[in-house]
Amino acid sequence: MGEENKSSNVVWHHATVTRGRREALNNHRSVILWFTGLSGSGKSTLAHAVEERLYKKGCRTFVFDGDNVRHGLCADLGFSNEDRVENIRRVGEMAKLFLEAGVIALTAFISPFRADRARVRSLVPHGEFMEIYCRCPLEVCEKRDVKGLYKRARQGDIKIFTGISSPYQEPEDAELVVETDALTLDESIDEVLALLRERGVISPDV
């Protein structure tokens, strides 16, 4: 599950249709928007809502949702610390490919460890990974308990659960912190889009 390339007889092929040409066709830059936070903090809801707003403005987007990815790409992984590291590594590499495709890639993962998020950031040029911390108090997330996971964790049915029996390491230098317990969904979307405009990812009229 490491990052060592075990294939020695491979050569990178440079495409004639470049990322720059794809971005020009799309009329926006590509970027990775990495939504992180506790279960129930609103990561997936916000990521999909931002995508909906961007889509309606003609942007090329794709959301990598934590649960959806574990139905396919990462179906062989559990929730041990080692498997969580590998889960994020795979998603980071996939998001990097979408970056090259000229797409705004949105990911919604708890991704509890700073080192894992930093590793994904290091895969791409400076400024092309934007960490968006959906900050929400544990007690609020637990009250929401949309999937009933906190209850199961408190009962001991889930042995390793972020915020209960496993730590969540808060971002120290996130590009954006969204207080999802205090803002409406529309207000949260507006904050993300403002960041994208400020960084020149999308035009001011989007």
Contact 44, 70 (CB under 8 A): no
- 111 is an active site residue: yes
Identify the three-state secondary structure at position 62: strand
- DSSP character string of 151-202: HHHHTTSSSS-BTTTB-----SS-SEEEETTTS-HHHHHHHHHHHHHHTTSS
Listing from the earlier edge strand, what are the strands of the sheet with 31-36? Answer: 61-65, 104-108, 31-36, 129-135, 176-179
Is residue 64 classed exposed, middle or buried when 0-12, 13-18 and 19+ CB atoms within 10 A define those classes? Answer: buried
- For 24, the token pair is 């020009």
- DSSP character string of 66-81: HHHHTTTTTTT--SSH
The single residue of 111, 122, 166, 188 carrying the catalytic annotation is: 111
Residues with active-site annotation: 111
